[in-house]
Structures are given as C-alpha cells and as structure tokens.
Amino acid sequence: MSLLLLLQREYVDSLLSDTTEESTGTAQGQTTGARNEWTFILADSNGAAADVLDPAIVRAELTMRRSEISTLEFELSGEDDRAYTIIQKLTQTRPLVYAYRDQVLYFAGLLTAIREQGEEDVTMNVTFSDALATLQHRLTLSDIEYYDQDASTLIAGTFASGKSLLEQANTLAATGLVAGTVTSSVGVETFNTSRDVAYDKLRELCSIVAGPDVRVRPQSGSSTFGILDVGSLYKSTASVANFGYGGGTVANLTGFSWEVQPPLTRVICIGSEIEGASDVTGDVTSAESRVGVWQGQIANNDLYLETDCVNAANSAVRLDWTVTVSFTPQPAVTPRPLRDYNVGDLVKVRANRGSLRYDGLLRVREISISIDDQGVETDHRIDTEAGGTPSGLQTDDTGLVSITADTFSDSGNLFNSFA
C-alpha cells in the first residue's frame, strides 16, 4: 500500500463505521479469519497528516478503558533514517496520532509521554492518550456550587449558575474535546467544587451511585480529536460475546483469573489539614442492611476544602462485593474487540478447569490489544466487572442473549456464578 493512500485514510475513514469491516466473529465466539491489520498516522496539532508511523514501530499496545483515559503506547526503532525522521516529528507541539484497523478509526490521541534509550538497540517509547487526558491539566473555576444538577449537564452542557466542566476546561486552552449528544439523564446528588482538576471531578461523578458514564468518540482531521458522550451509555447491549476456558466450553481463552473486593460503605478522605466523610444516603443504609458496615479511608494531599474531601470520599464508596475477572482470548478464534464487543458491553464467560469454575455475564471494564510490527494483533487482555446475574435476560430467535438491565448487586449470593 502506498504512503499517499495511507495518508489519505485520515480524511475518509472518519466517515466509516464498524460495518465496513468484514464479518469476523459472532457472539458465540466463532470467527472467519480476520486480518486485524492496524495502521497508525501521525498528525500535527491541527489534525493534518504528517507521516505514517508503521515503518518505525516495533510493537504497539492499545488500551481502551470504561469512563477512563484510553492510551496507545508504541515502541519505535531508532536504527534507520526513516525511523529517525518520524521521531523528529514527535517533537512538534501537541502531535496527534490516529489508529485505524482495516481502515476504520478506533483511536485518536495526543502525545503525553516520550522516552528514548540506547542499549543493544536504540528505541523510543511513546504514549498517546485520548482527549480525556487533557482534562488532567485543566482547572475548574473557583467557588462554583452545583446542587442536584443533572450529571450530563455538569460535564457537557450549560446551566444558569455557571459553565459546565467541559466549558471551564476549554476556557483557557482547548482540550481537543467537544460535547456530543447526551444519551440519557442521570440524577446526581449534591456536587460542590472549588478550583480543582476537571478530570478529577469527572471521575468523581462517574464513581458515585447512579453516576453517569463518559465516552470519547475519536475524530480525525482537525484540532478536535474527541467527541464527549455523557449519560447511561452501557445500560444495555444487543448481544453478548461468548468466551470459554477449559473443557466443555468454547475454549477460546488461554488464561483466566478472578479476585474479589469487599464493600466500602463509609469512607473518610484525608486532605491537606482537612477531612471529609462520605454521605450516609438511603442507598448506603440499604446496602448496610445487607452487607453490614464497612469503613475505610483514602488520602489526597491536593484537597484543601471539606466539600472536595466529601466528594472524593463519596466516589470511593462501594455498596457491594466487587468481583473482577480477567481473561486472555486467542485473537484468531474469538469475537473481535472494539467491533463485536467494546468497553461497557456484557460478555458471557465460562471457566471449567480443575477447581476453577465460573459461568456468568461480565461487564467489560478494559480491553488491551497487543500489535506487532506488521500491524497484526497478537494478544488480547480483557478486564471485567461482575456482580449478580443481570436481570431482564431474553433470548432472541438467533439464540443470542439480550440484556435489558444493568445490575451489579449480589450481596446475598456473591459467588452465584462460581460453581
């Protein structure tokens, strides 16, 4: 493929959707042999394509996270003139990168870390992060108070008493984010803020009970490289991808592990010579009637006001036992990540080997994809969250399981998915 054609992808592929990829998997874990070919385009801060990174790449790691910053890490070779030219371009002001798989744009990000070293070989490690990362370097306005506002309004919209977090973050310098369509309203309890980092406030909103999800849709061709979606983004999915480990399963996993964390119903946050306790809401007392009182503390020396400590403490509350399951699919014989399933989606996982027994539905929290120097996926790693059996399960005519509700509570029968 010519360099010119690769550079042209930036301007045409943002109009494509996942439907342009060939069908390579089903929700039952069957595939037809996908190529999984990735191409990486380096662009300037205005989104104009500057070069193709592929010839210099030794390996790449794409990590997509639910309501968190997603990253793309490269290891580049510095042993030839071609690589040296590309590395020089990384010193531009806020360079961007676009990641395409089979001509579909899946990631857009800006340079956030770079390190070069020489041992047996000269290599450079480079990290690009999506537009959420810019909120880590933007402060909200001081002494603004929000009471019982809608979470989507707080993050992406406008309201009478002031600017939204995204508007505030864009006041002094562009973030690369613009607000997208709010998918649904999510009610949030009292939320106060002083001058603080916008990303910290966004994470607090996403963490509290009934808080929203956020998602960045990548964009190419301009200084805006992300559209921010806010709301109940992952409350339902059309179908469930199927994974298995061990005998009597679809056997498309090479590894499987799980761990459990207890609830944390009351939290004290210790700031800089100040502290604040989490609110004892009706949801908290209801949870404690089932799981008991679980207390703990966190520390953040960057907090100077009690209201900020209270917000941080509320975001650390866990109202039930949390089961985290991680597994390693075989790329050639499993559903295709980012197309057949994505972060926030439900997947069906079964393990049956020795003492390891699991059979349940899991919500995807993180997807990691390893890519070789030919742009081919070599490894996948999936981290998921689990609670009780989701309600509202229905089976359609194709045999796929449809999900109509999102539930994580499982206090009375924590290990119901473990035989």
Chain segment 203-235, per-residue pLDDT in tens: 878 877 667 888 899 999 999 999 999 887 876
| CA pair distance 143, 272, nearest whole angstrom | 18
| CA pair distance 232, 239, nearest whole angstrom | 17
- Closest to 217 measured CA to CA, from 138, 106, 84, 102: 106
C-beta of residue 322 within 8 angstroms of C-beta of residue 385: yes
C-beta of residue 326 within 8 angstroms of C-beta of residue 384: yes
Q: pLDDT digit string (tens) for 263-315?
A: 999 999 999 889 999 999 888 999 999 999 999 999 988 788 888 888 889 88
Q: Is 28 helix (H, G, I), strand (E, B) or coil?
A: coil
pLDDT top residue among 315 and 396: 315
Q: Is 343 helix (H, G, I), strand (E, B) or coil?
A: coil
- Residue 3 pLDDT grade (very low, low, confident, very high; cuts 50, 70, 90): very low
- Closest to 411 measured CA to CA, from 287, 267, 264: 287
Q: Render 83-131 in DSSP notation, one character per residue.
A: HHHHHHHTTSSS-EEEEEETTEEEEEEEEEEEEEEESSSEEEEEEEE-G
The set of residues, in sequence order, having a beta carbon less than 8 Å from that of 374 and lying 6+ positions away, is none
- Residues belonging to the chain: 419
| DSSP classification of residue 166 | H
The CB-side HSE value for 119 (13 A sphere, CA atoms) comes to 3
C-beta of residue 137 within 8 angstroms of C-beta of residue 169: no
The set of residues, in sequence order, having a beta carbon less than 8 Å from that of 79 and lying 6+ positions away, is 121, 122
Residue type, 156: A
> Residue 78: is its pLDDT beyond 50?
yes
The pair of structure tokens assigned to 359 is 């059979």
Residue 169 backbone dihedrals phi, psi, to 5 degrees:
-65, -30
| CA pair distance 35, 24, nearest whole angstrom | 9
The pair of structure tokens assigned to 197 is 């980092």
The DSSP bridge pattern shows strands 57-65 and 356-371 to be antiparallel
Q: Render 209-264 in DSSP notation, one character per residue.
A: TT--EEEEEE--SSS--EEEEEE-TTS-BS--EEEEEETTS---EEEEEEEEE--B
pLDDT at 358: 83
The pair of structure tokens assigned to 404 is 């109509």
Start-to-end CA span in the chain (Å): 51
Q: pLDDT digit string (tens) for 64-75?
A: 999 999 999 998
Supply angle C-alpha 340, 329, 388, rounded to 5: 75
Q: Is 16 helix (H, G, I), strand (E, B) or coil?
A: coil
- Residue 361 pLDDT grade (very low, low, confident, very high; cuts 50, 70, 90): confident
| C-alpha Rg value of the chain to the nearest Å | 22
- Closest to 224 measured CA to CA, from 351, 161, 134, 127: 134
Q: pLDDT digit string (tens) for 165-207?
A: 888 888 878 889 988 877 766 766 666 666 678 888 888 788 7
pTM beyond 0.85: the answer is no
| CA pair distance 82, 103, nearest whole angstrom | 23
| CA pair distance 109, 226, nearest whole angstrom | 8
**Partners of 60 in the beta sheet?**
74, 371
Q: Which residue has the tokens 């996993």?
A: 253
What mean pLDDT is predicted for residues 354-366?
86
